[in-house]
Chains A and B, each alone.
Chain A
Amino acid sequence: MSEREIKRGATELSPIEVYMLLPKTNCRKCGEENCMAFAVKLVNRETSLNKCPELEKEEYGDARRKLEELLAPPIKEITIGTGDRAVKVGGKLVLYRHEFTYHNPTPIAIDVTDEMPLKGSDGEEGLLDRIRRIEGFSYNYIGRSLGLDMIAIRSTSNDPSAFKFAVENIVKATELPLILCSFDPNVMEAGLVAAYKRRPLIYAATRDNWREMAELALMYKCPLAVFAPGDPELIRSLSKTLIDYGVQDLMLDPGTFTDEGLSDTINIFTMIRRNAIKGGDKLLGFPLIGAPITAWINGGDPKEAAFKESYVAAMLLSRYCDLLIMHSLEGWAQLPVLIWRFNIYTDPRKPVSVEPGLRVFGSPDENSPVMLTTNYALTYFTVESDIKKANIDCYLIVVDTEGISVESAVAGRYLTADKIAEAIKETGIEKKVNHRYLIIPGLAARLSGETEEALGGDWRVLVGPKDSSGIPEFLKSKWPPKEEE
Chain B
Amino acid sequence: MEKKDEEKGKTIKIGPKLLELLSELGEMELEDVEIEVEELEIQLQPMTGAPAQPLKAAVAKPEAPAKPAEILKAPFKPLIEEYPGRIREVKLGATKGEGGSRGKTVIVGGENSPSYYLFERAPPHPPVISVDVFDIPISLPKTVKNYVKEVMGDPAEWARMAVEKFRADLVTVELMSTDPLIKDAPPKEAAKTVEEVLQAVDVPIIVGGCGDPRKDAEVFIKVAEVAHGERVLLSSLTLDMDEAKVLEKVARAASEHGHAVLAFTALDLNRAKELNRKLYSYVPADSIIMDLTTAALGYGLEYTFSIHERARMAALMGDEELQHPTLSGTTNAWAAREAWMKLPPEWEPRELRGPLWETVTALSLFLAGVDIFMMMHPYAIRTMKRIIEEFSSMGKAKPEKISDWVSMKI
Interface residues of A (CB under 8 A from B): 1-3, 96-98, 111, 139, 141, 154-156, 158, 160-161, 164-165, 181-183, 185-186, 189-190, 193-194, 197, 203-204, 207, 210, 212, 214-216, 218-221, 229-241, 244-246, 255-257, 259-267, 270-271, 274-275, 278-279, 283, 291, 293-294, 296-297, 303, 307, 310-311, 314-315, 318-319, 327, 331-333, 335-337, 339-340, 343-344, 346, 348, 351, 376, 378, 382, 404-405, 407-408, 411-412, 445-446, 467, 469
Contact = CB atoms under 8 A, between A and B. Distances in A.
Contact of A193 (B47, B59, B80, B116): B47
A154 B337 CA distance: 36
Interface string B376-399: 000000010001001111111111
A111 B396 CA distance: 27
Contacts of A296: 408, 410
A182 B406 CA distance: 6
B401 A257 contact: yes
B71 A141 contact: no
B73 A267 contact: no
B306 A98 contact: yes
A467 B338 CA distance: 12
B367 interface: yes
Contacts of B409: 156
B1 interface: no
B14 to A, nearest CB: 12
Given A96-B309, A318-B364, A210 B79 contact: no
A384 B104 CA distance: 49
Bin the interface of chain B by size: 35 or more
A335 B353 contact: yes
Contact of A335 (B72, B212, B347): B347
A344 B407 contact: no
B148 interface: no
Contacts of A165: 46
Contacts of B348: 331-332
Interface in B163-210: 181
Contacts of A229: 397, 399, 402-403
A220 to B, nearest CB: 7
A311 B380 CA distance: 11
A141, A165, A245 interface centre (most CB from chain B within 10 Å) = A245
B153 interface: no
Contact of B397 (A203, A265, A408): A265
A376 B335 CA distance: 15
B403 A311 contact: no
Given A297-B405, A331-B346, A336-B353, 5 more contacts: A111-B410, A241-B70, A296-B408, A343-B302, A412-B268
Given A3-B81, A279-B79, A336 B48 contact: no
Contacts of A270: 117, 119
A469 B51 contact: no
A241 B72 contact: yes
A274 B76 CA distance: 12
A202 to B, nearest CB: 12
Interface of B: 19, 22-23, 26, 34, 38, 41, 44-51, 54-55, 58-59, 64-65, 67-68, 70-76, 78-82, 116-119, 181, 212, 266-268, 293, 295, 297-303, 305-306, 309-310, 313, 317, 335, 337-338, 341, 343, 346-350, 352-353, 356-357, 359-360, 363-364, 367-368, 383, 387, 390-399, 401-410
Nearest to B341: A469
A260 B341 CA distance: 33
19 contacts: A154-B407, A229-B399, A241-B71, A241-B72, A255-B402, A267-B116, A271-B79, A278-B79, A279-B79, A307-B383, A310-B356, A315-B367, A336-B357, A336-B360, A343-B298, A348-B303, A405-B295, A408-B267, A469-B341
B309 A98 contact: yes
Given A1-B79, A245-B68, A314 B360 contact: yes
Contact of B356 (A307, A343, A346): A307
A63 B395 CA distance: 47
A111 B352 CA distance: 22
Nearest to A231: B399
A319 B369 CA distance: 13
Contacts of A238: 71
Nearest to B23: A219
Nearest to A329: B346
A331 B347 contact: yes
Contact of A311 (B181, B337, B359): B359
A97 B396 contact: no
Given A274-B78, A318-B364, A446-B181, A237 B71 contact: yes
Nearest to B46: A161
Contact of A344 (B305, B357, B395): B305
Give the top 8 A-B pairs by smallest Cβ distance, nearest first. Answer: A261-B397, A161-B46, A412-B266, A331-B347, A332-B353, A230-B397, A264-B397, A343-B302
Nearest to B271: A412
A337 to B, nearest CB: 8
Contacts of B364: 314-315, 318, 340
Nearest to A325: B405
A236 B76 CA distance: 7
Contacts of A212: 51, 55
A332 B71 contact: no
Contacts of B181: 445-446
Given A219-B26, A246-B67, A189 B367 contact: no
Nearest to A333: B356
A97 B267 contact: no
A384 B52 CA distance: 63
A207 B305 CA distance: 37
A416 to B, nearest CB: 12
Nearest to B293: A408
Given A263-B118, A263-B394, A344-B305, A294 B360 contact: no
Given A346-B302, A405-B300, A239 B74 contact: yes
Contact of B118 (A267, A318, A407): A267
B126 to A, nearest CB: 12
B394 A469 contact: no
Contact of B47 (A160, A244, A318): A160
Contacts of A1: 79-81
A344 B302 contact: yes
B263 to A, nearest CB: 14
A220 B46 CA distance: 18
A183 B82 contact: no
A219 B405 CA distance: 26
B317 A3 contact: yes
Nearest to A255: B402
B397 A340 contact: no
Contacts of A233: 74-76
Contacts of A189: 47, 51, 54
Contact of A340 (B59, B301, B401): B301
Nearest to B83: A3
Given A212-B55, A260-B390, A264-B395, A203 B68 contact: no
